[in-house]
Each structure stands twice: as structure tokens, then as C-alpha cells.
Amino acid sequence: MAGTVGLKWCSAFVLLGLLCGVGRAAADPLPQTAARYDVFVHGLRAMVLDAAYRNGDGRYAVAVEGKTSGLVGLFLPGNLHLRGVGTFTPAGAVQPALYDSAGRSHHQNWLLDMVYKGALPVVQRQQPPDPQREDVPDQARMGAVDLLAVFMQLLSQVGATQRCTDATSRIFDGERLSTLSIHSAGWGPLPAGFVETRGKDSLKCDFVFQQVQGFKLSSKSTALRKPQPGHVWFQNLPGVGMAVVRLELEHPKMGHIVLTLNALPQRRD
């Protein structure tokens, strides 16, 4: 499927959660936080993410736009666009309403539109379709949410409690069903390589991502079925609050991925 590469990028990077805001009514706007991130694979810059999010009053709107860069962009030009909208319950649980993804890879366009009917994520449109992938039945998808929704819940929790709440989420991206386990690793210095806020204490959260359903029918790879460990760091930035400043992930096919904040995020009312 043409979208396979694009969706791999989504799964690897969407936890960053930095996203181009989806607007609300002009009479009741929420502040938007916008940022740019650089993504490195094996030390080489592979993608630039322009991102922003709006979060408050029990609801959120997020999106992300990415474009390959460097040698990857020269030989494998591509882009991706993600969007998510939803609400939070009074207890803080996320309730996504929609999730869209689209992009271009290997000279072909792909898109996927998904809505939620209660607790069930339902794919409304997928182009091109992928009949060579395992179907994920309704029973397995029930209660699963998208990665953008998981990130917004994590960001909300971190902002409110200054720690990562130990939790396991079930994630459905329109094709694959996965689990994501997160737990707090405490506060400490940020790893070297981040200039703007180096030396400040950061909240580190460890996570494990693992695909459990929705594999390619022809795939015999055991690597994709193994847990994918990673780490994400948050800092309390001036005028912004808690924000992702670094993420590391061991991907079974792409290898060691590092995402770093390019510059201090901008917050606009």
C-alpha cells in the first residue's frame, strides 16, 4: 500500500504531539502552541515537523505536518498531515471524535479518515485500500483511540500533575492495533544535544509501543511484533507550560529515532 511508509512515520512520531491547530469558533478561541521539531534517524536529519495544538475547556484540536528533509528528502521525498479533534471527560479521560491522516510517499498519495461512533473507531475512507493486511474486528477496536488522542491526554496529565501517570492505552491508527504503556521516570537533566534549554530539569517518561493486530498478510517479520521501547522528555517552558522537548524511539525497521525541539515554541491567543 502506498500509505504504508507514511503510516510508519505517523506511528513513530505522532507521540510528539506538536501540531498545527485546528481552529475553534472565533468567539471563543483557545490559545495555540506552535513548534518545529527535527527528526533524526541514525544521526541524520530525516524529517521536519511543524506542529501546534489547542487544549482547554475540556476539548482539544491537534494536527501535524511533516516533510522529509536532508538525504531522505532527496531520495525519498514525502510528506504527512495528521488531524485529531476530541473532548475530555470530567475525570480526564480522552474521548476522540475524529482522526484524519494523509500524505505522499513513493510518488503516490494516500489518505485515511476515521470517526468515532461511541467508543468504536470506524474508518470512513481509505485510499488506496489495503486488502493485503489483516482486518482488525470491531470487538478488538472497541475502546481504542488514536495516537493524537493519547498524546493530548498525556500532555494534559503532565501539565496538571508534573508527572506521567502510569497507564496502558490501546491505539488504532486505521490499520493497526497497538498498545502503548507509559510510566514516569522522574525529573533530571536533558540529554546533550538540545541547546535552548539544556541544563534545565526535564520530566522523563518511559514508554513501550507494540503492535498486536493489523499485520501484513505476507509479513513473516517478528521484529514488528516485538515491543518498541522509547523515552519522551517534557520541560516547563516560559509562556508555554509543559511541552515535549525530546523523544527517542527504537523502531524495528527504521532504527534509532531522535526528535528534538528546533526552537522554543510560540504561544498565540
- The 10s digit of each residue's pLDDT in 228-254 is 999 999 999 988 899 999 999 998 888
Spatial separation of the C-alpha atoms in residues 226 and 236, rounded to whole Å: 33
Q: In the beta sheet, which residues pair with residue 260?
A: 38, 246
Task: Tell me the average pLDDT of the chain.
Answer: 84
Q: Is the pLDDT of residue 140 over 90?
A: yes
How much is the pTM? Answer: 0.85
By the 8 A CB rule, do 206 and 165 touch? no
Q: In the predicted model, what is the mean pLDDT of residues 129-136?
A: 92
Residues in the chain: 269
Q: HSE of 50 in the Cβ direction (CA atoms, 13 Å)? A: 8
Q: Are 48 and 81 in contact (CB under 8 A)?
A: no
Query: Taking residues 55-69, what's their average pLDDT?
Result: 90
Give yes or no for a contact between 65 and 83, defined as CB atoms under 8 angstroms apart.
Answer: no
- Model pLDDT for residues 189-235, shown as the tens digit of each residue: 888 755 455 557 899 999 999 999 999 888 777 788 899 999 999 99
List the domain range (segments joined by +) for residue 260: 4-268
Q: Is the dihedral of CA 171, 37, 161, 90 positive or negative?
A: negative
Residue 148 amino acid letter: L
Q: What is the pLDDT of residue 73?
A: 54
pLDDT at 30: 81
Number of domains into which the chain is organized: 1
